[in-house]
Amino acid sequence: MESMSALAGGFSAAFGIYNLLFCLLGCLLGTLIGVLPGIGPLATIAMLLPITFAMDPLTSLIMLAGIYYGAQYGGSTTAILLNLPGETSSVVTCLDGYEMAKRGRAGAALAIAALSSFFAGCVATLFIALLAPSLAAFSMQVRSPEYVVLIALGLVASVVLSRGSPLKAVAMALLGLLFGTLGTDVTSGETRFVENILPLYDGLSFVALALGLFGLAELLSNLEHPEARGTLVGRITRLWPSLDDFRQAWKAVLRGTGLGSVMGLLPGSGAAVASFTSYVVEKRFAHDPSRFGYGAVEGVAGPEAANNAAAQTSFIPLLMLGIPGTATMALMMGALMMQGIAPGSAIVTTNPTLFWGLIASMWIGNLMLLVINLPMIGLWVKMLSVPYRILFPSILLFSCIGVYSLNSSSFDVWMLAVFAAAGYALRKLDCDAAPLLIAFILGPLLEEHLRRALVISRGSPMIFIERPIALGLIICVVALIGLIILPSFRAKREEAFHE
């Protein structure tokens, strides 16, 4: 089978000494980021982006991907030990994980989290390896008209599945769309909102936007509420789960893996939503739901499996279709494009080493993470207890350096300040910035593809119905919107977020 030999080729590339080294580095960094509350993989990947330009594309992608799914592993560590979600998707792990720790079962909780994640990671990687080639052939058919519908689907999904008030999510997405129009319009060559300021010709700096709205807004919030960072470090007793734990958890792991693998494919959902959904599902399926919230092992196993599976499969829409499912994926896409690699249709044929090397390294990375997380817990927790008054200036500094070094542009650093202020304001107003960021990336793409499709079809909108895939996708979008309108679906979504 062609894909098997390609995968073998990918493994040999991934086992190259540099790639292994950077995979390890990425996993270590990712774990560190996951462990440190206040930093998510988004900020660090944004920070490291400029550095990856000097590296081989496969190596840089391996490292960034390692950071990304490494953060999922690390996030559960602080969630369990300190009731502090290192990552948005670890929020759910806090619920039962911390309870287990309070009962002296931190070791079991940590081990279950790591093992579930490892299992899910392996299965998801296999999933990608087997399914990806058919997606590749299919995606050659995906051109501008299909992209339009897919991106519209992504935009709608990101709003539906984001936190908080749906109305505010829509407003944030619209704001993101508006920010996205700033710059040079591809189809006409005209500039919008630029006022002849040269650095704005290429639009707002995505990294400044992401770091400002997410990383620095979080930093400001932590400075305002120092008590939210409570640093009690309890004792870790036994490291290994009991046989009972395994018996209770294995079904949750399977369900979580399946759920996460599928949800990772949908643009706009990703790891966070997968873990929320898994928790809700586990609670429904449990023999004794009252255990949940008091240290139920399934409440850790399921969501952890889900978020790691989603983290792996969310690379499929990115690599195969060129659609970033989450804000972090959008950054990865930026990383790829700045290396001159256009993700999408042809990537399996034009860059087979890149593609298969990445997939192989995901499996290797999962293994590395398992080996890292189990013994190194002590060290991570030590770093957590660095007083914030020393930690936060460092975070701020690295954000500034990262943003500057992207384009050697101090203008971008000014933008960082503006967006940090904006992010702070949005938090005060209880607005989730995630739809804004996703819309900022997807909006201009949507407009570009829409207008290009119309230019090529000479103005005929029939193009969206004539092409079968586009038509099929339109039906999906309509169905999804229908689901939103159904009140029962909305209530379930609210429930999942408020639990």
Partner 1 sequence: MKSTLSMIAVLAAAAITTANVSAHAADYPEKPVTIIVPFDPGAATDLAGRIIADELAKSLGQRFLVENKPGAAGAVGSQQCAQAAPDGYTLCVGVLGSHVTAAITNKKLPYDPAKDFTPISLLYASTMAIAVSTDQLKVKDFDNLVAYVRENPGKVSYGTAGVGSPQHLFIESLKQQHGLDLVHVPYNGGAQAVADTAAGYIQMVVASLPSVVPQVASGKLRIVALADAQKNPSQPDVALVKDTFPGTVFTGWAGIFGPAGLPDDIRDKLNEAIGAALASEPVRAGFAKLDAAPQHTTPDELHSMIVDTIALWKDVAEKAGIGR
Partner 2 sequence: MGPGYFPVLIALVLAMVGLIILFKSLRSHAAAIERPVLRPLVFVLAAIVVFALSIERFGLVPATIAAIVVASPASREFRWSETIALAVGMAAFAALVFIYALSQNMPLARF
**Binding-site ranges for partner 1 (CB under 8 A):** 53-54, 140, 143-144, 186-191, 196, 198-199, 201-202, 338-340, 342, 344-346, 349-350, 407-409, 448, 452, 455-456, 458
Contact 406, 50 (CB under 8 A): yes
d(CA 136, CA 250) in angstroms, rounded, equals 33
50 binds partner 2, rule: CB under 8 A: yes
Contact characters 215-254, partner 2, x per CB under 8 A: -x--xx--xx-x----------------------------
Q: How far is CA 117 from CA 75, 365, 367, 472, in A?
A: 12, 12, 10, 34
d(CA 96, CA 291) in angstroms, rounded, equals 9
Residue 177 or 253 having the CB closest to partner 2: 177
Token output for 223 = 């400075």
- Stretch of 84-92, 291-299, 334-342, 395-403 contacting partner 2, by CB under 8 A: 395-403
CB of 413 to partner 2, least distance (A): 4
Residue 4 or 140 having the CB closest to partner 1: 140
- Stretch of 75-83, 98-106, 349-357, 383-391 contacting partner 2, by CB under 8 A: 383-391
- Stretch of 142-150, 234-242, 351-359, 410-418 contacting partner 2, by CB under 8 A: 410-418
Residue 414 contact among partner 1, partner 2, none, beta carbon within 5 to 8 Å by kind: partner 2
Residue 397 contact among partner 1, partner 2, none, beta carbon within 5 to 8 Å by kind: partner 2
Residue 289 or 387 having the CB closest to partner 2: 387
Among 192, 229, 251, 490, binds partner 2 (CB under 8 A): 192
Residue 456 or 479 having the CB closest to partner 1: 456
Residue 137 or 386 having the CB closest to partner 1: 137
Among 177, 297, 300, 364, binds partner 2 (CB under 8 A): 177
DSSP letter at 369 equals H
385 binds partner 2, rule: CB under 8 A: no
CB of 203 to partner 1, least distance (A): 10
Amino acid at 137: A
Amino acid at 218: E
Residue 393 or 468 having the CB closest to partner 2: 393
Residue 246 contact among partner 2, partner 1, none, beta carbon within 5 to 8 Å by kind: none
Contact 129, 359 (CB under 8 A): yes
Residue 221 or 407 having the CB closest to partner 1: 407
What lies within 8 Å, CB to CB, of 227 at 6+ separation is: none
- Which residue bears the tokens 């949750």? 252
Contact 493, 169 (CB under 8 A): no
Residue 456 contact among partner 2, partner 1, none, beta carbon within 5 to 8 Å by kind: partner 1
DSSP letter at 213 equals I
Residue 62 or 347 having the CB closest to partner 1: 347
CB atoms within 10 A of CB 285: 13
CB of 402 to partner 1, least distance (A): 16
What lies within 8 Å, CB to CB, of 345 at 6+ separation is: 136, 139, 140, 142, 320, 321, 322
- Stretch of 101-109, 120-128, 214-222, 349-357 contacting partner 2, by CB under 8 A: 214-222
CB of 472 to partner 2, least distance (A): 25
CB of 147 to partner 1, least distance (A): 11
Task: Please tell me the total number of residues recorded for the chain in this structure.
Answer: 499
H-type alpha helices, 140-226: 144-160, 166-181, 206-210, 217-224
What lies within 8 Å, CB to CB, of 35 at 6+ separation is: 74, 75, 77, 78, 86, 380, 381, 383, 384
Q: 450-479: b or e for each residue (b if 16 or more CB lie within 10 Å)?
A: bbbbbeebeeeeebbeebebbeebbeebee
Mutual orientation of helices 487-498 and 468-485 as an angle, nearest 10°? 70
- Which residue bears the tokens 């300040």? 417
Residue 466 contact among partner 1, partner 2, none, beta carbon within 5 to 8 Å by kind: none
CB atoms within 10 A of CB 101: 25
The count of residues interacting with partner 2 (CB under 8 A) is 55
CB of 63 to partner 2, least distance (A): 13
d(CA 68, CA 311) in angstroms, rounded, equals 7
185 binds partner 2, rule: CB under 8 A: yes
Token output for 327 = 């804000």
CB of 338 to partner 2, least distance (A): 14
Residue 15 contact among partner 2, partner 1, none, beta carbon within 5 to 8 Å by kind: none
* Closest alpha carbon to 75 in 282, 272, 249: 272
- Which residue bears the tokens 């949005």? 426
* Closest alpha carbon to 153 in 479, 491, 466, 485: 479
46 binds partner 2, rule: CB under 8 A: no
Residue 34 contact among partner 1, partner 2, none, beta carbon within 5 to 8 Å by kind: none
Distance of CA 397 to the CA centre of its chain: 24
CB atoms within 10 A of CB 22: 24
Beta bridge partners of 191: 184
CB of 393 to partner 2, least distance (A): 5
Q: Point out which residues bind partner 2 (CB under 8 A).
A: 50-51, 54, 167-168, 170-171, 174-175, 177-178, 181, 185, 187-188, 190, 192-193, 216, 219-220, 223-224, 226, 387-390, 392-394, 396-398, 400-401, 404-405, 408, 410-411, 413-414, 416-417, 420-421, 424, 428-430, 443, 447, 451, 454
